[in-house]
Amino acid sequence: MKEVILHIGGPKCASSSIQKYCKDHLSDLVENANGKKYPYFRILKSDQELFAVNKKEDFPNANSSQNLYQFKGNVKSIFDKLNDKTENDVSVILSCEEWAFDLITSNALFSELKDLKFTIKIFFVVRPILSVLNSSWLQWGAFSGDSLENWIEKKILQSPNQFDFFQQYERISSLHNIREIRICDISQNPVKVFQDFLEMPITPIQRENETTHIGLLYQIVRNQNIIGRTVHDSTIENFLNKQLKLPECQTPFFIPKKLIDLCQENHGKNMRNMVNLLNKFMKLDEEVERLYFGTSSIFSNQRRWESGPSSDELLSLNDAWLMRTLKIRN
């Protein structure tokens, strides 16, 4: 193994699409036009045993590696296993959207990665903190049983912070064995940027996760115990999206002004630093910059989550419909 390419996140930043591309197109040994060879591996732990797999039929439901905490104390052995499985001239690709956060929350994991003798290249997709907080509420927080204000405030004040990507970038860039870090914003077509990073042909792919219609989301939250939607299991939500094919609607912004101000107070400097960093790679659109700076017009048009869907978003879905849908699924 010549080097390791790590896609490390962040969460809610097109990770599923990047992982689907890797699994579908790079699972077998692939060579780019310049002779670089890329196999995509997934690192998994099952029944206390570590697996490094690159065949699509192995663990078919796992598109990514698991978080690094699963392998604490065994990081070196994992990379040794990868080295044993590959030729000397290949660049192994690994992906997990939680790895950037794992590496700033665990000094032990950071040290394990620092001690590796392999050259590492990093690919990191980011987005404005207020944008990812709003999206994360709809993905996880709304199903947590907590109020929006409590959940968002805890995420803003969390230290180290899961969604302050500049904080994570600073920590990771201090690793001495990293040869290159490529970073891009979610608005800049991350899959295409990743393909450019690998010097692979541009292969258009369909976005992996559909945005849930807000009217349907409210229905799922209301019936989450009936249909089995939990904080970390969105299988039924993904299924409903594919079955219904509802028209796209703009996702409302729900974070109230006092929390926008709290976020800028705690993370504004890092967001400005992130904009400067991103612009060194590829110029951001002005509206995206305003999202980082907390000055976008969407922040002055926020909605109260507790108010429910608007009349335009309201869906005439009832429990009987949900139960019929569940029968189709089962």
**Could you read off the pLDDT of 26-56 as tens digits, one per residue?**
988 888 888 888 999 999 988 778 888 888 8
Q: Are 166 and 246 members of one domain?
A: no
In 10 A of CB 176, how many CB atoms?
6
Q: Does 22 share its domain with 169?
A: yes
Do 87 and 234 belong to one domain?
A: no
pLDDT at 209 over 80: no
The verdict on 117 and 241 lying in the same domain is no
102 lies in some domain: yes
For residue 293, tell me if it sits in a domain: no
**Residue 173 pLDDT grade (very low, low, confident, very high; cuts 50, 70, 90):** very high
Q: Is residue 209 part of a domain?
A: no
The Cα 84–Cα 90 span in angstroms is 12
Of 299 and 184, the structure prediction assigns the larger pLDDT to: 184
The full 3-state SS of 71-111, as one line of letters, equals HCCCHHHHHHHHHHHCCCCEEEEEECCCHHHHHHHCHHHHH
Q: What is the pLDDT of residues 244-296, one digit of tens each?
A: 777 777 889 999 999 999 999 999 999 999 999 999 999 999 999 999 999 99
Nearest of 54, 35, 34 to residue 44 by alpha carbon: 54
**How many beta carbons lie within 10 A of that of residue 290, not counting itself?**
17
* Range among 80-89, 155-164, 216-225, 318-327 with highest mean pLDDT value: 155-164
CB atoms within 10 A of CB 282: 13
| DSSP secondary structure of 248-265 | P-PPPP---HHHHHHHHH
Domain count, the chain: 2
| Max intra-chain CA distance, the chain | 61
Q: How large is the average pLDDT for residues 118-143?
A: 96
Whether residues 84 and 228 fall in one domain: no
Q: What is the CATH number of the domain that holds 44?
A: 3.40.50
* Residue 320 scores a pLDDT above 80: no
Domain extent for 244: 214-250+301-329
Residue 327: pLDDT band with limits 50, 70, 90: low
Contact 323, 227 (CB under 8 A): no
**Model confidence at 211: pLDDT above 70:** yes
Q: Residue range 291-306: average pLDDT?
A: 91
Note the pLDDT of residue 49: 80
Both 167 and 242 in a single domain?
no
Residues 6+ apart with CB under 8 A from 299: 130, 253, 255, 257, 260
- Read off the pLDDT of residues 222-234 as tens digits, 9 standing for 90 and up: 889 888 899 999 9
Residues 231, 87 share a domain: no
Residue 12 to residue 22: CA distance in whole angstroms: 17
On whether both 240 and 184 belong to a single domain, the answer is no
Of the listed ranges 97-111, 114-128, 194-208, the least confidently predicted one is 194-208
> What is the predicted pLDDT for the residue at 192?
96
pLDDT band for 91, please (50, 70, 90 cuts). very high
Q: Is 70 exceeded by the pLDDT of residue 324?
A: no
Place of tokens 């044993």: 84
How far is residue 164's CA from residue 124's CA, in Å, rounded to a whole number? Answer: 13
In a domain, 120, yes or no: yes
Q: Alpha-carbon distance 278 to 275, whole Å?
A: 5
**How many Cα atoms are found within 13 Å in the side-chain-facing hemisphere of 154?**
9
> What is the pLDDT, as a whole number, of residue 129?
97
Q: 62 with 184, same domain?
A: yes
**194 and 218 together in one domain:** no
The answer to whether position 273 is within a domain reads no
Let me know if residue 91 belongs to a domain.
yes
**CA atoms within 13 Å, Cβ hemisphere of 1:** 24
